[in-house]
Amino acid sequence: MDESPQSFDRVLSSMCTPPHPVAREAAERFLATNPGDPASFPSVARLEERAVDTLGEVAGLDDPAGYVASGGTEANLQAVRIAREHGRNDANVVIPESAHFSFRKAADLLGVELRVAPTDADGRANLDAVAELVDADTAGVVAVAGTTEYGRVDPVPALADLAADAGALLHVDAAWGGFELPFTDHAWNFADAAVDTMTVDPHKLGRAAIPAGGLLAREESLLESLTVDTPYLESRTQVTLPGTRSGAGVASAAAVLDELWPDGYRDQRRRIRDTAGWLADELDRRGYDVVDPELSIVAFDVDTRVFEALRDEGWRVARTGDGELRIVCGPHVTRDVLGEFLDDLDRRAADVGTGHRANPGAGSR
């Protein structure tokens, strides 16, 4: 094999981050185990129960139902499936336009009509627009707690009320935001609102190894609506989408949740929040149009030629649908890394002649 894994040094676009040392070690130890066959592999099955319990604490839910999925896509798909089981035959699901594209995959696979509500000017679900799309066939409403592009948090309690009035389930996609939001004032979780299901991914800000997503449900019966019989396994039923699953992902999630919840994640939130705020200030001082970071994602307008030049220098940066450069301030994105990035940005902006100020004043890094 002649390839090595690339370094994360210049990766500014990823919602994943190198796993915490305890997650890496647990992943290696449990590599050969299969939580999809819990009767044959009971120790990893116990770890999964622990992981789900702790994810419940993260999300404000005592006695949670759920499992460690392959990622946010599977968790969202399963949540749409739960809503469909709960609803009528020609069910629809209402999502804000900021929702992750995994909901499009889910709707396509499940034959559910997807209704997309415009967001407000700041990128949050617009309640009136959602209300207009909800009708008697609505089986589920989705709220995003930490949008992929701008880190925005939808008005979860109001959306939950709207869903409840329509007899629909409310799913919160906190795949990325779930490990930052417990340390903020946002109302987003099971304790704050009538939330039925939630996605919260250990393999993003939770610092588990990939694959480790999280699906939580308020009631066991919601998850049980997905049950299929597994006659030739020792355990007789399954609610997960895959059969064989990664023991590495499950064990790493359990280990890192044990290690970091809550104090380690609180410290992490403080660090990434400070970094995002600092970066936004630095960009603002240079004259860039910066989208105010609610959680730790910073997006700003940048000339296409500058964007391409930064990519050519090895910076792994992505753009929003509207073209802003978007930096996900995960734990590996330190001020030192961003200081180098800003130096390159200043240089490239000067080359192109965008008119932005370079490194103005003191105080960077």
Q: Could you list the residues that contact ligand 0PR (CB under 6 A)?
A: 13-16, 71-73, 76, 100, 102, 144, 148, 173, 175-176, 201, 213
Question: CB of 140: closest distance to ligand 0PR in angstroms?
Answer: 15
Q: Least distance in Å: CB of 5 to ligand 0PR?
A: 13
Instruction: List, as one string, the DSSP characters of 311-335.
Output: HHTT-B-EE-TT--EEEE--TT--H
- Rounded to 10 deg, the angle between the 21-29 and 247-260 helix axes is 150
DSSP symbols for 270-312: HHHHHHHHHHHHHHHHTT--EEPPSSSEEEE---HHHHHHHHH
User: Between 41 and 300, whose beta carbon lies closer to ligand 0PR?
Assistant: 300
Q: Over the Cα atoms of the chain, what is R_g? A: 21
- C-beta of 47 vs 153, nearer to ligand 0PR: 153
CB of 108 to ligand 0PR, least distance (A): 15
* d(C-alpha 42, C-alpha 115), whole Å: 41
- State in angstroms the smallest separation of the CB of 171 from ligand 0PR: 11
Residue nearest to ligand 0PR (CB): 72
Closer to ligand 0PR at the Cβ: 102 or 286?
A: 102
Q: Residues with Cβ < 8 Å from 305, sequence gap 6 or more?
A: 348, 352
Distances (CA, A) of 353 to 286, 299, 314: 13, 21, 21
Closest separation in Å from C-beta 161 to ligand 0PR: 22
Distances (CA, A) of 202 to 23, 133, 249, 299, 330: 10, 32, 9, 24, 13
User: Which residue, 203 or 356, is less far from ligand 0PR as judged by CB?
Assistant: 203
Minimum distance from residue 359 beta carbon to ligand 0PR (Å): 29
Strand partners for 229: 237
Q: Are 325 and 300 in contact (CB under 8 A)?
A: yes
Decide whether 12 or 193 has the Cβ nearer to ligand 0PR: 12
Q: Which is nearer to ligand 0PR, 176 or 265 (CB)?
A: 176
Interatomic CA distance for residues 276 and 273, integer angstroms: 5
Considering the complex, state which of residue 205 and residue 279 has its C-beta at the smaller distance from ligand 0PR. 205
CB of 38 to ligand 0PR, least distance (A): 23
Nearest approach, Cβ of residue 226 and ligand 0PR (Å): 18
Which of these, 309, 211, 216, 207, lies nearest to 267 by C-alpha position?
Answer: 207
Q: Identity (one letter) of the amino acid at 154? A: D
With beta carbons less than 8 A apart as the criterion, state whether 352 and 306 touch: yes
Q: Which alpha helices (H) appear in the chain, and where do they start and end? A: 21-29, 42-58, 72-86, 102-110, 127-133, 156-165, 220-224, 247-260, 263-285, 304-312, 335-352
Instruction: Single out the residue of 169, 115, 123, 113 nearest to residue 145, CA to CA.
Output: 123
Q: Which is nearer to ligand 0PR, 11 or 222 (CB)?
A: 11
For ligand 0PR, the closer of residues 99 and 239 by Cβ is 99
Minimum CB separation from ligand 0PR for residue 276, in Å?
A: 16
Task: For residue 94, give both structure tokens.
Answer: 């209402």
- Cβ nearer to ligand 0PR, comparing 44 with 75: 75
Least Å distance, CB 353 to ligand 0PR, is: 31
